[in-house]
C-alpha cells in the first residue's frame, strides 16, 4: 500500500517520495531586481529531500508583483539567480517546479511600474491592505483588463514559462488560487465581466484554460501543475457556488493530462468556510491529486492510503524543518516555526533551523 515514502510519477517527473514542499512566500529576494540570491540557494538546497519542491510564488512580469522582495521570472538576472538555486537542489537529488504567479488586484501602485494601477477582471477594490516597501497601505480600486489585453497577458505567461525552462526547473505550476489574478477571474465575486471571460462558469474558467494551454505548449502538459483553493477566502475572494465552479474546473483540466492538480483544502483567513465536498472534486479530476491543508504525517499517510490523494504538500513544517522527510521517517519531533520571521529578513528563521544530529 502506498504511503508518504513511496515513489510516485507525476507526469514526466519521478518523485522519490510523496512529501511535497508547498510554495512558500518568504520575501528574501535581492532588491532592486527581485533576484534570487545565495541565501535562497541555501534555503532550497536544505529542503531538497522533498519528493518535489514547488518554488515560492514567482511573478511572471513587473505588473504581476504584489509584495516586496518576491523573486520574479521576467529578467535575465532572475533566470541567472534561479539557475543557482536549481543547481543546488539537483545536486542534492531534489526536483523543483516554479510556481507562475500574477497577483492581479492584490497589489499597490508603489509596487508596480510607473505607479500603475493593479489590473483585475473587474474594477472591484479588495478589502484590506497591501504590503509595500513603506509598510501597509490600503488597496486601491484596480483597472479592469480590456479584452484585447488578454493576449499580452498570455504572452507574459508564455515568456515566464520559457524563462523557467531556460533556468532549468523540472516543471511549472500555474497559480490559480488564494485570490490572485486567475482566481479573481474564476470567481463571480470578483469577475463581473460581460465579455467571453465573464458571466457563465465556462466563461470565467476560460482564462485559466488559456493559460494552461499556453504554458503546456512550452513545457508539455505532463510537466505542468495547477493550484486551486476552492474555499479559501484569503484576499477577499468569494464565489456564490464554489462546488459547481471547481467541479467544472477539474473536468475542464482533465483533457490536458497534467502532472497534477494541487488543491488547498483549507482556508487561510478567518471566518466560516463555505460548504465544500473535496471528495466530489477529487472524483471529477482524473489525474494526480496533490492535497494541501494542515496535514501531519499520520493524516498524510491516511489520505494517500485512501486513494483521495497521490501526494501531500506541506508548508509551515518545511519552513521549520529542512529535513522534514527524515523526521517523518524516524518519527522524530518537529522544530517549531517562528512566525515572526516568515516574511522578509535575514538568515534567521530562514536557513538556521537545525536538522537532526
Q: Assess contact for 118 and 104: CB atoms under 8 A.
A: yes
Nearest to 304 by CA among 291, 323, 286: 291
Cell of 110: 508603489
To the query of whether residue 180 is one of the catalytic residues in this protein, the response is: yes
Output the nine-digit C-alpha cell for 195: 465579455
Report the alpha-carbon angle 167-155-12, nearest 5.
45
Kindly report the backbone phi and psi dihedral angles of residue 198, in degrees, each rounded to the nearest multiple of 5, phi listed first: -140, 170
- Cα–Cα distances (Å) from 61 to 103, 152, 158, 169, in that order, read 10, 11, 11, 18
**Long-range contacts of the stretch 151-159 (C-beta < 8 A, 24+):** 153/102, 153/207, 154/210, 154/211, 154/214, 156/60, 156/61, 156/63, 156/64, 156/74, 156/102, 157/60, 157/100, 157/102, 157/211, 157/214, 157/215, 158/214, 158/215, 158/217, 158/218, 159/60, 159/61, 159/74
Backbone angles phi, psi at 207, to 5 degrees: -60, -45
CA distance 223 to 249: 19
Alpha-carbon gap, residue 188 to 190, rounded angstroms = 5
Q: Kindly give the pairing relationship between strand 119-120 and strand 129-132.
A: unpaired
- Copy the grid coordinates of residue 45: 538546497
Q: Left if phi > 0, otherwise alpha if psi is -120 to 50, otherwise beta: which for 135? A: left
Of the listed 180, 197, 295, 350, which one is catalytic? Answer: 180
Helix axes 150-167, 76-91, angle to 10 degrees: 40
Active site (catalytic) residues: 180
Amino acid at each position: 500500500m502506498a504511503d508518504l515514502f513511496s515513489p510516485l510519477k507525476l507526469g514526466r517527473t519521478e518523485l522519490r517520495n510523496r512529501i511535497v514542499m508547498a510554495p512558500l512566500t518568504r520575501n528574501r529576494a535581492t532588491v532592486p531586481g527581485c533576484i534570487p540570491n545565495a541565501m535562497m540557494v541555501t534555503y532550497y538546497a536544505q529542503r531538497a529531500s522533498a519528493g518535489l519542491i514547488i518554488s515560492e510564488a514567482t511573478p511572471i512580469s513587473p505588473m504581476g508583483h504584489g509584495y516586496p522582495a518576491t523573486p520574479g521570472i521576467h529578467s535575465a538576472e532572475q533566470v541567472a539567480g534561479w539557475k543557482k538555486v536549481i543547481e543546488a537542489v539537483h545536486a542534492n537529488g531534489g526536483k523543483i517546479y516554479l510556481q507562475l504567479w500574477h497577483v492581479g488586484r492584490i497589489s499597490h501602485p508603489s509596487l508596480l511600474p510607473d505607479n500603475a494601477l493593479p489590473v483585475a477582471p473587474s474594477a472591484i477594490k479588495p478589502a484590506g491592505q497591501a504590503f509595500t516597501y513603506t509598510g501597509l497601505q490600503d488597496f486601491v480600486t484596480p483597472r479592469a483588463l480590456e479584452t484585447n489585453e488578454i493576449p499580452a497577458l498570455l504572452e507574459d505567461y508564455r515568456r515566464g514559462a520559457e524563462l523557467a525552462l531556460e533556468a532549468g526547473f523540472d516543471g511549472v505550476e500555474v497559480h490559480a488560487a488564494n485570490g490572485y489574478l486567475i482566481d479573481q477571474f474564476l470567481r463571480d465575486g470578483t469577475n463581473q465581466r460581460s465579455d467571453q471571460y465573464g458571466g457563465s462558469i465556462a466563461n470565467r474558467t476560460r482564462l485559466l484554460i488559456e493559460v494552461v494551454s499556453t504554458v503546456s505548449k512550452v513545457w508539455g502538459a505532463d510537466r505542468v501543475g495547477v493550484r486551486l483553493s476552492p474555499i479559501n477566502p484569503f484576499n477577499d475572494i468569494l464565489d456564490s457556488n464554489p462546488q459547481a465552479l471547481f467541479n467544472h474546473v477539474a473536468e475542464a483540466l482533465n483533457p490536458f493530462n497534467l502532472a497534477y492538480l494541487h488543491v488547498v483544502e483549507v482556508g487561510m483567513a478567518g471566518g466560516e468556510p463555505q460548504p465544500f465536498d473535496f471528495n466530489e472534486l477529487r472524483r471529477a479530476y482524473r489525474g494526480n491529486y496533490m492535497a494541501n491543508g494542515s496535514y501531519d504525517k499520520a493524516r498524510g499517510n491516511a489520505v494517500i492510503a485512501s486513494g483521495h490523494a497521490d501526494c501531500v504538500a506541506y508548508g509551515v513544517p518545511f519552513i521549520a524543518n529542512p529535513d522534514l522527510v527524515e523526521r517523518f521517517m524516524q518519527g522524530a519531533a518537529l522544530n517549531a516555526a517562528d512566525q515572526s520571521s516568515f516574511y522578509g529578513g535575514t538568515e534567521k528563521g530562514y536557513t538556521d533551523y537545525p536538522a537532526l544530529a
